[in-house]
Amino acid sequence: MTDTVFELRRYTLKPGAREALIAVFDTHLVETQEAVGMSVLCQFRDPAAPDQFVWFRGFADQVARTRALPAFYGGPVWAEHGPAANETMLEWHDVLMLKPAAPGFGFKTNGLERLPPGTADLDDGHPYLVAIHHLRPDAAEDAVAIAAEAIADAVRSTGGEVLASLISDRSENGFARLPVREGECVAVTLIRPAVPQAIPALEAALRGIVPGTGRAPDIACLIPTARSLLR
């Protein structure tokens, strides 16, 4: 089943704790989340922010999200490994709940295979960009979708590949234990640059789009961990 609900989760960690979190996450918290009905899509280091860990996960729909989250966070795997993960974190509530900007604009993971536990990270892993464009909180759905398409067109003009084009899902959060950012409206684009040398032009194209608020987009260049499904 294709996922229709996504979370972009950005954690601020204690200084020097990122590798400890990645070790716990990639070893113990990938397949175990998927076993209760979630998709762990990609997880990243941010080279420019050594105390940041960024990842996306997906759900078939809101009902599946409301069912899967308590199953995992109330289950034995989180009871065993959650304390070690939490020990690395200063902030864990920077979370955007998202949906595809249009049908077919979510993550496409068919045919992708995750590398096995214990796989070593590559220092020269292919970079990805994530861009968060801010719209007015009361922006209409069609206006947000149009903005997302304009952002995708700008990416393609540089030769970049849009891996996911997502917009705010303003549904009620069905699992209050894990808060999400509310009262915001965003377009989130995950991008694979054609080549690393194209990143400056890609960032310039993304910064040239300021839909509605005058606020500059948040853009990060990310490197996937060894067990990220999207590599």
pLDDT tens digits along 95-120? 999 999 999 999 988 888 999 988 88
Question: Is residue 149 one of the residues assigned to a domain?
Answer: yes
**Does position 1 have pLDDT exceeding 70, yes or no?**
no
**Does a structural domain hold residue 115?**
no
Query: Looking at the domain assignment, is residue 117 inside a domain?
Result: no
Q: Is residue 195 part of a domain?
A: yes
Structure tokens at 99: 């949906």
Q: Is residue 230 part of a domain?
A: no
Q: What is the pLDDT of residue 213?
A: 80
What integer best gives the mean pLDDT of the chain?
95
The domain total for the chain is: 1
pLDDT band at 121 (very low <50, low <70, confident <90, very high): confident
pLDDT at 124 over 80: no
**CATH number, position 98:** 3.30.70.100
Residues of the domain holding 155: 5-110+123-224
Query: What 3 state SS string does the chain have?
Result: CCCCEEEEEEEEECCCCHHHHHHHHHHHCCHHHHCCCCEEEEEEECCCCCCEEEEEEEECCHHHHHHHHHHHHCCHHHHHHHHHHHHCEEEEEEEEEEEECCCCCCCCCCCCCCCCCCCCCCCCCCCEEEEEEEECCCCCHHHHHHHHHHHHHHHHHCCCEEEEEEEECCCCCCCCCCCCCCCCEEEEEEEECCCHHHHHHHHHHHHCCCCCCCCCCEEEEEEECCCCCCC
- Any domain includes 229: no
177 is a domain residue: yes
CA pair distance 166, 5, nearest whole angstrom: 9
| pLDDT tens track for 138-156 | 999 999 999 999 999 999 9
